[in-house]
Structure 1
Amino acid sequence: MFKQGIEPVQSLYIDADDKNPNSTVISLAQPDLGLPSKEYYEDQEALKKYQSGLVSILKRILGPTSLNLAKAKELDLNILTDVEIDTLVSNAIELETSIANSMVKSQDLLDPVATYNPESISSLQQSYPFLDWTAFLEEFLPPGEPLPPAIIVTSPVYLQRLTGLLQNTPKQKLRDYFVMRHAISKVYALDKDTRTLLQEMRGSIFSGTTKLPPRAQVCTKSTSSTFGFLAGRYFVLRAFGGESERAQVEKFVDLIQSSWLKRLPELDWLDAQTRSRAISKMSKIKHKLGYSIKSPDIRSDENLKEYYQNINITTTSFYDNENSATAWELADIWSRMGKPIDKARWMMDAQEVNAYYTRTGNEIVVPAGILREPFYDPDVPDYLNYGGIGMVIGHEFSHALDNAGRMFNGDGQLEQWWTNSTLKSFETAAQCYVKQYDQWTIEGQDKKQHPVNGNLTLSENLADNGGLSVAYMAYQQLASNASLQTATSNNVNMRLPGLEQLSPEALFFVNFGRVWCNKKRPSMAEQLLLTDVHSPNRVRVNAAIQNSEEFARVFQCPANSPMNPIPKCQLW
């Protein structure tokens, strides 16, 4: 199942070693399940819908339909009766529920120190003997590649519970669970009627929509996912200004970074030792902007052709194409074992509307996809760009010093470099944010208010607040310093026609709100509360603004009004 990208009882990934960031390491983590999070398995109504949906899907795939009977006869395959499918689904859900109950909550897996637990293969075999770990690893490692000296176990508690669970689970129940997971994982590549059954099941439980997306959208998304760098090349050629625009964005990012470097000396809760190393770390942060220029270089069609040459594509079978792409991706990932980390590799494609910071690389990455309206437009006044992409870039820089990023030094190595006094001040301030965000709620499908999890979202909330504050500071520096207003600056203090009553500073905040404006179905909003480390967008905007003294001043909000509470949570 692992060879087909299915991880039913544990997830495995290969990445930089937190304590030796130039080297690769294998990590074992909790798996993704059929439902979005462990909390869904405590909801009896959700489980009833899940069971009913799975039965309908598996009857279509494995049951005695006219199509299945004919094909089974041709291939000499077994067809399951309705009773057998009912039993299979009951067994599968029972085991999956037990696996979910064994898992640790997401918010308890956010500490890089607590999740860094190296174990030798022999120790792994002794502690978790439900699998022949040597045979399993040798199945995937490149020929001639020795077993790694250690594997990182991110949640020993989960693997301990899983070991006990699997040792006491009948083989037939395990088989039924694996059959269900395999079948459901492939439904997206099957016929429309089967895909509709899956969409209806998920829609009734957690997504809120039971209608299939247009097929063209599905195909575009699949192509972009499989051939991300290739799709990114076409996106850049069509929608991005190439090297000249990338150079312009670099100057923009430099100003955000320099604003952070000016902000850090002003923070009195950082003692001298920690401040010095924080400044050093911030100054070392590298930038990758626009698109990949190595590993592969998307500017080169020959480089891309070589990169994707081992994927076999047919014009007759989407299912076979997906299996080929999965096999290629797994081979690519495992080929990295025993080699130094390729620091030129991107973890996002150029067309993605997103950005990220890597702790082991100490770098920010801003794809071309987010360097567009409403986040960024080189032809609009600068204050709109600073309220949009400026905040996003400031947000990514903030992750270098958030509750997890602070545990890595400027070279990307896991190290406790904060003094105890600074750490205590940080934790006190962080708890203010936890309590603030805990007070925010969203309306669920039951029409009740559901609270944001301030602990789960802490890292992103700190980054939102820091990013907004530093982006505003950077714009103020630009607006007041003619020497910074190079040819890349644009209408620094221009008022917008029709909105002359709003100052450039006000429009900075307006665009900050604008870029996060969205609408979600209540059931999807509930799901994200349990699974997303980001707060809901409405909360991301309003909670960060509540903490902004600049916003209160610009919009003249009375003290202790809803958008200008006293006291505020302050860190950056």
Structure 2
Amino acid sequence: MAVFHKEEYREMCQNEDCIKTAARVMEAMNRSIDPCVDFYKFACGGWIAKHPIPQSQTSWDQLSLLREELLKNLRILLEEPEKEDDLKPVKLAKALYRTCMDTATVEALGLEPIFDVLKKVGLPRDPPLDDDIPPVNLARITGVAQRLLGLNILLNFYVSEDVRDTTRNRMMMEQVSPGFSERYLLDPQRFQSELGEYKKYITAMVQLAGAGAKSSDFADELLDFSTKLAQIMSTPEQRRSVNHLFHDVTINELQQLTDLHVQQWNWTDYIEAVFDNTNVTIDPSTDRVIIMDLHYLQKLPQLLAVTHPATVARYMWWSVYSTVAPLTLQKFRDLGFQFSQKVFGLKEKTPRWKGCTGNVNSNFGMALSYIYVQRHFNEHAREKALEMLLDVRAAFNEMVSELDWMDVGTRARAHRKLHAMRPFVGFPDWITDPKKLDKYYEGAEVVEGRLFETFLRLTNVGAKKSLNSLREKPDKDRWISTGTTVNAFYSAILNSVTFPAGILHPPFYGNGLESINYGAMGAIMGHELTHGFDDQGRRYDENGNLRQWWSDKTLEHYHEKVECIIKQYSNYHLPELGINFTVNGINTQGENIADNGGIREAYRAYQRLKARIPNQQALPGLAEYSRDQLFFLGFAQVWCGNYTNGALKSKLIEGVHAPNHFRVIGTLSNNRDFARAWKCRTGSPMNPPHKCILW
């Protein structure tokens, strides 16, 4: 006979979802660990022991497992024989998959596709080894690479909503990472082995292109120039700062700003190359561009002026060559694999079907969503998920009303922003309308047997669509993701939260028991809602406009509380990586604010649900745990995961998320409801007397 926890349960849940969830929860736990000492190890110890990292991955967690499941399901759909009544975009998706899997044809074409693209961009087919090279129009070549390949060399360019007035689109420009992470380039002592492997990779790649004995010098020169580019970039910490200003200027004004020290870059040439063969004609005297990193764009021409033209030519050539070569021959991909093996601990190559399925999903994600949701998602699940999201939002709204550090005016604007957030769940409705789906993929074509040519054509169609949007009104109801995505999103500019069908599966959702569902998916929903009020999102108003809507006094309180979170997470370190490998509390603050707020909102929403449905069922084998305890188990277990040291190091150096272990213990040790549910005494590791609480 089942022993129920304190009269909480009257019966056992025996349906299939509950039985699967119970088995999964029990298997993941390590009950020999004290939950008040390290809840992550208690909740995930079993999972970590039983789920080693697959050979072809550098990390493995619940998101990876679900992504694996999604890819397998998409593969089945893509390998099904083409039906006469398949929609055109679905036929194109299947044709792209077939073309991608046809490696024999890809190999037979050899290096020709690479030579062809280098020529189109205006670069030599062979690596430029001579120091005496004819002068080139750098701005134009960079613009052509952006237009043809969507490749950002030296700077990042795109069209998006004007951050100060989201009813219109603007050109945007910002700095761009120089090939290898600037974090590694700027600290050569600490990352000696990673940089050594990167040099080996460049050397081997240019040897394949015929650079011979000069390959090693070529690599040294590239690394040196990449480092100089990294030195003029703003750091991620600086870019997060409220003092990092955007500049709204005409192209002619931008020219004046970058010509202050040296005339080295013609912005009109660059922009005209980018907008070549589109509906847009640019007027440099009136068309405006938002500059997100003016310091970088002013320093760039100065750096180019003092760099030998041959070095710049080599960097340009390498940027294009290293992007397109892996799309052709296996030997190029093998070199990339060897690099990942040494730096990130990868043991096996990714199977071709997986890469191809991902490629098709990137290019035809909405078409795949159309067939995926028919087979793997139902309307009831969508309605229930939306109900949960609105529950969590209502809980957040209540919490904002109770904040003692927020003044009346700021509070009213916070409520307004929360109410205005657009909730998107499952998939966009329009994908079920064949006419609209056809229109979305207008102009897209697949040249069967010609993978590289297809890639260029699809890139061209996508780029053209994006560039043409400069003169169009932004669509506020657009999805920033496809339904076939295992993730969740907040968009500050759209003020929207998105939860695609891909993530609405166990262990995140559909667990048969609301305690687990609210702890897992509810906390993720709260996380995304809270992003609207993190250190970045809080700067945007309910319409997605960059605007200061906080009173000075409230902002002062806000910053004090954020500082507490920054310090807390900065104290987490990973001794297995060596000395000085700690979480970057500044760069992870947005995600940590979202994690901490998200779980509190979900818990409040769950308490409201419990009041509506008093006696919920118990999970088989877990009746000793209360519903609130299961809620926190549900939260922790979606973050169970394993990482190679290389992947962990990369996450720590470049990532905006803290490692999963710290996401769980950092969030729960700040949570009084957790301490109460699990009866952790004050002063125990999971219940410190001082807590960082913002939302």
**TM-score of the pair, normalised by structure 1:** 0.91
Match of 2:234 in 1: 104
Match of 2:161 in 1: 16
Residues 56-99 of structure 1: per-residue CA shift (max 9 Å, x gap) = 12212x12xxxxxxxxxxxxxxxx4x134334333222211111
Question: Does structure 2 conserve the Cα–Cα contact (< 8 Å) formed by 1:187 and 1:198?
Answer: no
Question: Equivalent residues in 2 for 1:41-60 (5 A)?
Answer: 41-43=186-188, 44-60=192-208
Question: Does structure 2 conserve the Cα–Cα contact (< 8 Å) formed by 1:314 and 1:321?
Answer: yes
Match of 2:656, SS? Answer: coil
Bigger Cα displacement from structure 2, 333-342 vs 186-195? 186-195
Instruction: Determine the C-alpha separation between the residues in 2 that align with 1:525 and 1:376.
Output: 27
Aligned to 1:440, which of 543, 547, 572? 572
Match of 1:471 in 2: 602
Residues 510-558 of structure 1: per-residue CA shift (max 9 Å, x gap) = 0101111111111111111122211111111110000000110111111
| Deviation of 1:247 (Å) | 2.4
Instruction: Determine the C-alpha separation between the residues in 1 that align with 2:659 and 2:432.
Output: 36
Aligned to 2:395, which of 233, 255, 259? 259
Aligned to 1:227, which of 354, 361, 364? 364
Q: Are residue 303 (structure 1) and residue 448 (structure 2) matched?
A: no
Q: Which has the higher contact order (CA 8 A, sep 6+)?
A: 2
| Deviation of 1:268 (Å) | 0.3
Residues 123, 210 of structure 1: alpha-carbon distance in 2 compared, 3 angstrom cutoff: farther
Instruction: Determine the C-alpha separation between the residues in 2 that align with 1:226 and 1:184.
Output: 21
Question: Does structure 1 conserve the Cα–Cα contact (< 8 Å) formed by 2:183 and 2:654?
Answer: no
Match of 2:655 in 1: 532
Q: Are residue 345 (structure 1) and residue 478 (structure 2) matched?
A: yes
Aligned to 1:285, which of 405, 414, 421? 421
AA matched with 2:585:
G
Match of 2:244, SS? Answer: coil
| Deviation of 1:280 (Å) | 1.7
Match of 1:392 in 2: 524
Instruction: Determine the C-alpha separation between the residues in 2 that align with 1:144 and 1:303.
Output: 24
Question: Equivalent residues in 2 for 1:23-38 (5 A)?
Answer: 23-38=168-183
Runs of 4+ in 1 over 6 A off after TM superposition: none
Instruction: Determine the C-alpha separation between the residues in 1 that align with 2:691 and 2:187.
Output: 37
| Deviation of 1:140 (Å) | 3.0
Question: Equivalent residues in 2 for 1:168-183 (5 A)?
Answer: 168-183=306-321
Question: Does structure 1 conserve the Cα–Cα contact (< 8 Å) formed by 2:203 and 2:216?
Answer: yes
AA matched with 2:582:
P
Instruction: Determine the C-alpha separation between the residues in 1 that align with 2:214 and 2:428.
Output: 50
Instruction: Determine the C-alpha separation between the residues in 2 that align with 1:443 and 1:290.
Output: 40
Instruction: Determine the C-alpha separation between the residues in 1 that align with 2:381 and 2:264.
Output: 53
Q: CA RMSD in A?
A: 1.8
Match of 1:461 in 2: 592
Residues 138-175 of structure 1: per-residue CA shift (max 9 Å, x gap) = 23333353336321111122222222101111221111
AA matched with 1:56:
A
| Deviation of 1:236 (Å) | 1.1
Instruction: Determine the C-alpha separation between the residues in 2 that align with 1:111 and 1:409.
Output: 18
Match of 2:71 in 1: none
Instruction: Determine the C-alpha separation between the residues in 1 that align with 2:439 and 2:537.
Output: 36
Match of 1:14, SS? Answer: strand
Match of 1:95 in 2: 225
Match of 1:74 in 2: none
Match of 1:73 in 2: none
Residues 40-61 of structure 1: per-residue CA shift (max 9 Å, x gap) = 443233322211111112212x
Match of 1:498 in 2: 621
Residues 108-166 of structure 1: per-residue CA shift (max 9 Å, x gap) = 11246624211221121122243221122123333353336321111122222222101
Match of 1:511 in 2: 634
Bigger Cα displacement from structure 2, 138-147 vs 43-52? 138-147
| Deviation of 1:210 (Å) | 5.0
Match of 2:325 in 1: 187
Question: Does structure 2 conserve the Cα–Cα contact (< 8 Å) formed by 1:145 and 1:338?
Answer: no
Question: Does structure 1 conserve the Cα–Cα contact (< 8 Å) formed by 2:280 and 2:471?
Answer: no
Question: Does structure 2 conserve the Cα–Cα contact (< 8 Å) formed by 1:37 and 1:531?
Answer: no
Residues 235, 459 of structure 1: alpha-carbon distance in 2 compared, 3 angstrom cutoff: same
Instruction: Determine the C-alpha separation between the residues in 1 that align with 2:200 and 2:499.
Output: 43
| Deviation of 1:432 (Å) | 0.4
AA matched with 1:33:
P
Question: Equivalent residues in 2 for 1:64-463 (5 A)?
Answer: 80=211, 82-111=212-241, 114-128=244-258, 129-141=263-275, 142-147=278-283, 149-205=287-343, 207-209=344-346, 211-242=348-379, 244-293=380-429, 297-377=430-510, 380-443=512-575, 446-448=577-579, 450-463=581-594
Match of 1:202, SS? Answer: helix
Instruction: Determine the C-alpha separation between the residues in 1 that align with 2:244 and 2:329.
Output: 44
| Deviation of 1:443 (Å) | 4.6
Question: Does structure 2 conserve the Cα–Cα contact (< 8 Å) formed by 1:204 and 1:210?
Answer: no
Question: Does structure 1 conserve the Cα–Cα contact (< 8 Å) formed by 2:204 and 2:215?
Answer: no
Residues 448, 301 of structure 1: alpha-carbon distance in 2 compared, 3 angstrom cutoff: farther
Question: Does structure 2 conserve the Cα–Cα contact (< 8 Å) formed by 1:357 and 1:399?
Answer: yes
Question: Does structure 1 conserve the Cα–Cα contact (< 8 Å) formed by 2:425 and 2:498?
Answer: yes
Match of 2:684 in 1: 561
Q: Which runs of 5+ in 2 are unaligned?
A: 1-144
Instruction: Determine the C-alpha separation between the residues in 2 that align with 1:160 and 1:144.
Output: 26
Match of 2:161, SS? Answer: strand
Match of 2:508, SS? Answer: coil
Match of 1:22, SS? Answer: strand
AA matched with 1:24:
N
Residues 117, 397 of structure 1: alpha-carbon distance in 2 compared, 3 angstrom cutoff: same
Residues 307-328 of structure 1: per-residue CA shift (max 9 Å, x gap) = 2232231221222222222212
Residues 355-388 of structure 1: per-residue CA shift (max 9 Å, x gap) = 11111221111111111111100x6111111011
Bigger Cα displacement from structure 2, 26-35 vs 508-517? 26-35
Bigger Cα displacement from structure 2, 340-349 vs 111-120? 111-120
Instruction: Determine the C-alpha separation between the residues in 2 that align with 1:447 and 1:39.
Output: 16
| Deviation of 1:264 (Å) | 0.8
Match of 2:159, SS? Answer: strand
Number of residue pairs the alignment of both structures matches? 539
**TM-score of the pair, normalised by structure 2:** 0.75
Question: Does structure 2 conserve the Cα–Cα contact (< 8 Å) formed by 1:201 and 1:210?
Answer: no
Q: Which runs of 5+ in 1 are unaligned?
A: 64-79, 486-491
Match of 1:68 in 2: none
| Deviation of 1:201 (Å) | 1.6
AA matched with 1:319:
F
| Deviation of 1:301 (Å) | 3.2
Instruction: Determine the C-alpha separation between the residues in 2 that align with 1:17 and 1:115.
Output: 14
Residues 448, 315 of structure 1: alpha-carbon distance in 2 compared, 3 angstrom cutoff: farther
Question: Does structure 2 conserve the Cα–Cα contact (< 8 Å) formed by 1:41 and 1:47?
Answer: no
